[in-house]
């Protein structure tokens, strides 16, 4: 108690003796506020991110030959070959790109590339 008083005094803070003797305010509201912040953080950040990861993982597993996809770089094409980690994407007639499966951002409705 005396050490706390000396520390506060060295920082230039003066605290009445009655406040030090009483033990100060209750820490329970601080714990409740911390708990609320954790809940807000969970529902605003962690949960949506894990949901997006789960959807992307399902997309990666469902890729097959003939699917029309868009990559994270914006390249649209048709899958011509699928391996464990890579796919071969036909971006234009005679132009094939070998890319990682994880770089696919979305699948397109079949026939979309013909309309472009």
Every domain of the chain and the residues it spans:
1-6+16-62, 64-116
Look at residue 27 in the predicted model and tell me its pLDDT.
86
Identify the H or E element spanning 107.
strand 104-108
* pLDDT at residue number 79: 96
Q: So what's the pLDDT on residue 116?
A: 79
Query: pTM of this prediction?
Result: 0.61
pLDDT of residue 57: 93
User: Is 64-116 a CATH 2.30.30 domain?
Assistant: yes
- Per-block mean pLDDT, blocks of 10 residues, the chain (116 long): 56 56 76 94 92 93 94 96 95 95 93 87
pLDDT confidence of residue 77: 96
Tokens at 51, concatenated: 């949901």
């Amino acid at each position: 108690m005396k050490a706390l008083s000396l520390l506060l005094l060295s920082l230039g803070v003066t605290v009445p003796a009655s406040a030090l003797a009483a033990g100060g305010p209750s820490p329970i509201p601080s714990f409740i506020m911390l708990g609320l912040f954790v809940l807000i953080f969970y529902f605003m950040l962690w949960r949506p991110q894990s949901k997006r990861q789960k959807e992307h993982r399902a997309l990666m597993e469902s890729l097959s030959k003939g699917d029309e996809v868009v990559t994270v770089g914006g390249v649209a094409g048709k899958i011509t070959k699928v391996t464990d980690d890579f796919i071969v994407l036909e971006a234009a007639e005679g132009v094939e790109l070998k890319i990682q499966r994880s770089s696919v951002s979305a699948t397109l409705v079949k026939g979309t590339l013909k309309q472009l």
